[in-house]
Amino acid sequence: MVKTTLDRCLTCQALGQPGPPAPITPTTMPDEPWQTVLVDFYGPLPTGEYLLVVVDRYSRFPKVEIVHCTRASTVIPKLDKIFAVHGIPTLLKSDNGPPFNGEEYQRYLTALGIKAIFSTPKSPQGNAEVERFMQPLGKSLKAAKLDGRPRKQELSRFLLHYRTTPHCTTGVPPSELLFNRQVQGKLPILQKRNLVNRHDEAREKEGVLKTEQTRWIYKQFI
């Protein structure tokens, strides 16, 4: 019965089963939230717009802003809006394409005291946390289109779910690591958790995953 329903569901057919995640080169977890921030674009959307995606490397908490183009003059006000809420990060990582390699963008980061770092050219894994977030984001938007749901409303609901769900790498919801409190999502909070040890748990789980990834990468060259 369940299988038949799934087979007939256009949304389920479009989304399909997620494939295994691509291995990534292990990186060091920052010391605290919002210290290292990753930025990239999703799109273009059918409307011609793009999504400016900003992810906190520590907590994996995502911020998404709709932009009509990828020019620095459009992106900078959106970053200002995000930084006004969460503060100015120490490092901002992106690919080496426009507008991130442009003079206007670089002047903006310098004025704020932010160090720009670039991912490995021609390697999306260099900004893996953003790319990993893009996959479920894209599937959610595709499902909304097939089901006739408003894109902006679906985006807000997707972000709430993503932020309040334990992350596959840290085992802790991004909202808990960033805000240091339990954030109410669609599902009820059944038990109050002791958040004192959540940061240690996240570091430990990421460390285990990093070790497994290192072994996988090493085996590819044997």
Residue 194 lies in a domain: no
Q: What is the mean pLDDT of residues 129-142?
A: 92
**pLDDT tens, 181-213?**
888 777 666 556 656 566 677 667 666 666 665
Are the beta carbons of 94 and 116 closer than 8 angstroms? yes
Residue 221 lies in a domain: no
Q: What is the mean pLDDT of residues 210-220?
A: 56
Tokens of 199: 């940061």
Tokens of 126: 């260099």
Residue 115 lies in a domain: yes
**Which DSSP helix (H) or strand (E) runs through 62?**
strand 62-67
75 or 122: which leads in pLDDT: 75
Residue 40 lies in a domain: yes
Residue 108 lies in a domain: yes
Question: What percent of the chain clears pLDDT 90, i.e. is strictly above it?
Answer: 57
| Cα atoms found within 13 Å of the Cα of residue 79, Cβ hemisphere only | 25
Residue 13 lies in a domain: no
Instruction: Report the CATH number at residue 161.
Output: 3.30.420.10
How far is C-alpha 111 from the chain's CA centre? 25
Residue 97 lies in a domain: yes
Instruction: Compute the mean pLDDT over every residue in the chain, rounded to the nearest whole number.
Output: 82
60 or 22: which leads in pLDDT: 60
**pLDDT tens, 64-83?**
999 999 999 999 999 999 99
150 SS3 class: coil
- pLDDT category at 222 given cuts 50, 70, 90 is low
Domain that residue 146 falls in: 31-182
The predicted pLDDT at position 65 comes to: 98
173 or 183: which leads in pLDDT: 173
Q: What is the mean pLDDT of residues 91-105?
A: 94
- Tally of domains in the chain: 1
How far is C-alpha 109 from the chain's CA centre? 21
Of 8-17, 101-110, 163-172, 180-189, which gets the smallest average pLDDT?
8-17
- pLDDT category at 88 given cuts 50, 70, 90 is very high
Residue 189 lies in a domain: no
pLDDT at 100 over 90: yes
